[in-house]
């Protein structure tokens, strides 16, 4: 391969809004056969909106939302931004902790009370000693059945309510999946979100339910990529979040959405500058053509 030809490839990539970390990356891109897509922020817009707040026991909607927003104010996650945008009220917060792919927690000074507030998925609540009883489990299943991303809010060690968030599939996501398949690649969907939402999004873009992996932690995402590699697959992983960074590094080809976090961009080999997933099949087609010219 002559360096000039490779640089022409990367230059063309830049025109198409694809930033390539090094010319050698094109070589890996060419051999990819499986493309694992993160859901939130990659296939969906990641611009979530609060659709409903369901308070439990003696809590009110406003209390649940205001306590959650006070904690989420310190997080950059799309879920956090949606919850923070849903109410202007904030209480002072201390001892904020963020668990990527799990949720957040902090102490919130709500007037006279100092409360411990935990927001996130069931496993994160469990890590904080909060377990759901059968009635609460059932209420959660009902909430998730609606196709929303549902996060749990616990106050002082007990579940206080649910927040349902709505997201939309990006323009061009369906077309991107079609084009990946036309290139002979197997598109898959990988997410820390719950199964019903993941399968609904997958159906919308044309990924079969058997190629959807939901409810996975950031370490779980790495394991999914590694398992595919152990099966002999050459894996591209496309993601945007801190929670995707380790999986992007594990993949044979890591692709970051330019709208994503610095951690994802640093871990990736390629960055899609515009927020358009169609650039992924374009990059793969480009690398095949570039190398065809060189060889
Ligand atoms: P995805 O894989 O879809 O990009 P993440 O791995 O970032 O999603 O998050 C997985 C799940 O963890 C979310 O669906 C949510 O339940 C929970 N979660 C993560 N971060 C937060 C947060 N800041 N607030 C509330 N819940 C969160
Ligand atoms: Mg994401």
Nearest ligand to the CA of 84 is 1
* Per-residue pLDDT reduced to its tens digit, 11-54: 667 677 888 887 777 777 889 999 999 999 999 998 999 999 99
Band of the pLDDT at 8, cuts 50, 70, 90? low
> What integer pLDDT is reported at residue 261 of this predicted model?
85
Choice among 117-121, 144-148, 149-153, 233-237 with the minimum mean pLDDT: 144-148
- Please give the backbone phi and psi of residue 42, each rounded to the nearest 5 degrees, phi first: -110, -60
| pLDDT higher than 70, residue 142 | yes
pLDDT at 3 over 60: no
Predicted pLDDT of residue 2: 43
Domains of the chain plus CATH, in order, are: 3-45+169-294 (3.40.50.1000), 49-166 (3.40.1110.10)
Q: Which of 60-64, 81-85, 110-114 has the lowest mean pLDDT?
A: 110-114
pLDDT at residue number 4: 46
Nearest CA to ligand 1 atom 9: 101
* Average pLDDT taken over every residue of the chain: 91
* 58-61: long-range pairs with CB below 8 Å, 24+: 59/155, 59/160, 59/161, 61/161
Strand-by-strand arrangement of the 103-110 sheet: 49-55, 158-166, 149-155, 113-120, 103-110, 93-99
Q: Which of ligand 1's atoms lies nearest the C-alpha of 242?
A: 7
For the Cβ of 261 lying below 6 angstroms from any atom of ligand 1, the answer is no
Residue 8 or residue 277, greater confidence: 277
pLDDT at 188: 98
Q: What single DSSP character describes residue 155?
A: E
User: Residue 33 — φ and ψ, nearest 5°?
Assistant: -125, -10
**151 in ligand 1 pocket by Cβ < 6 Å?**
yes
CA dist., res. 252 & res. 267, Å (int): 12
ipTM: 0.96
pLDDT of 19 reads 85
- Report, as an integer, the average pLDDT of 169-195: 96
Residue 252: active-site member: no
What is the C-alpha to C-alpha distance for residues 18 and 247, in angstroms, rounded to an integer?
20
Residue with the bigger pLDDT between 180 and 144: it is 180
Distance 120 CA to ligand 1 centre (A): 7
For residue 119, pLDDT over 80 is answered with: yes
Which of 28, 33, 38, 167 is labelled catalytic? 38
User: What pLDDT does 86 receive?
Assistant: 98
Q: Sort strands 186-190 and 212-213 into parallel, antiparallel or unpaired.
A: parallel
Q: For ligand 1, is residue 44 a contact (CB within 6 Å)?
A: no
- Measured between alpha carbons, how far is 7 from 120 in angstroms, rounded to an integer? 44
């Amino acid at each position: 391969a002559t360096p000039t030809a490779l640089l022409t490839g990367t230059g063309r990539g830049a025109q198409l809004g694809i930033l390539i970390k090094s010319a050698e990356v094109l070589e890996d891109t060419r051999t990819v056969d499986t493309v694992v897509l993160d859901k939130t922020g990659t296939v969906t817009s990641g611009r979530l909106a609060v659709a409903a707040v369901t308070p439990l026991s003696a809590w009110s909607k406003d209390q649940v939302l205001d306590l959650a927003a006070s904690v989420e104010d310190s997080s950059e996650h799309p879920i956090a931004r949606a919850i923070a945008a849903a109410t202007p009220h904030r209480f002072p917060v201390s001892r904020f902790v963020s668990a990527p792919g799990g949720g957040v927690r902090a102490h919130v000074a709500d007037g006279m009370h100092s409360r411990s507030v935990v927001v996130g998925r069931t496993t994160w609540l469990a890590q904080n000693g909060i377990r759901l009883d059968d009635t609460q489990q059932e209420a959660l299943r009902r909430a998730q059945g609606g196709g929303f991303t549902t996060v749990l809010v616990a106050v002082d060690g007990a579940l206080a309510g649910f927040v349902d968030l709505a997201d939309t599939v990006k323009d061009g996501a369906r077309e991107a999946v079609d084009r990946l398949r036309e290139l002979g690649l197997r598109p898959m969907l990988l997410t820390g979100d719950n199964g019903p939402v993941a399968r609904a999004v997958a159906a919308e873009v044309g990924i079969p339910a058997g190629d959807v992996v939901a409810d996975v932690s950031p370490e779980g995402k790495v394991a999914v990529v590694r398992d595919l590699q152990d099966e002999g697959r050459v894996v591209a992983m496309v993601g945007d979040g801190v929670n995707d960074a380790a999986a992007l590094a594990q993949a044979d080809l890591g692709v970051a959405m330019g709208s994503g976090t610095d951690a994802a961009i640093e871990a990736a080999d390629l960055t899609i500058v515009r927020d358009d997933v169609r650039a992924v099949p374009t990059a793969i087609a480009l690398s095949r053509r570039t190398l065809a010219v060189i060889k």
